[in-house]
Amino acid sequence: MNRIHVLRGLFYPDLYTYKLRDSEYVPGVWKNTTMLVLLSGLIFGISAYFGIGSEYLSKNLTAVSRENYELHKLLFMIGQLIWGLFYGLAMIFIPALFFWTFSDIELKKFVTVQLYVMPVLLLEKVINIPLATGLGLIKTSSPFSLGVIAQYITNNDFIIYFLAAITLFKVWVIFIEYKYIKMLTGKRPGIVLLLVIGINLIFWLFSALFSFIQFEKIL
């Protein structure tokens, strides 16, 4: 039996890969999943409270009444909270299902791997809040992403958003997933790296597409 220690599994992958691989039963998966999904919703809601991502509301401030503006702001916060819940579920279960299809290991163990990944993704979201509110840095200007470099080499908004989705935190995620998936599946390192980068590449593309569509809507 191997209880889930999310932070320990995050910082000591070499130890916990063996524990996770050799465990016949992993308790606490759904409890930790619920807690991290709820935390994701809360962090997205706090981000929305500070107005991050609500630039379109500011642009329309003079065109609507104060009551309508507050209503739009409330709806935006609710929408972001729900989006945060969906984000948490997606980042846990979609990669887990993806890795599971290429292995005969039980799904719970791949879900556990993603539980170790989620704190990194949520930490990135938390750090972006003071960067946006204190320094006025948007996603494409984050010092942790390739978005800054992208703005110097291209004027293509989609490419800029795509490279902005690649951050130091995402590299950390790849490292964690690679360590665990390689040990769990026993597959060749090259195959595991291809699978891990592949699923993350899909997420980066969707992130860029969503940001690009929102950008076009704001304009």
Torsion of CA 114, 119, 120, 125, to 10 degrees: 120
For the chain, the residue count is 219
Please tell me the predicted confidence (pLDDT) of residue 70: 73
pLDDT tens digits, 64-73: 666 776 777 7
Phi, psi of 137 (to 5 degrees): -90, 125
d(Cα 32, Cα 39) in Å, to the nearest integer?
A: 10
Q: How confident is the model at residue 100 (pLDDT cuts 50, 70, 90)?
A: very high
What percent of the chain clears pLDDT 90, i.e. is strictly above it?
41
pTM of structure? 0.86
Beta bridge partners of 167: 145
| Window from 39-53, 106-120, 128-142 with minimum mean pLDDT | 128-142
Please say if the pLDDT value at position 96 is more than 70. Answer: yes
Yes or no: say if 173 and 121 are a contact pair by the CB < 8 Å rule.
yes
Given pLDDT bands bounded at 50, 70 and 90, which one contains residue 219? very low
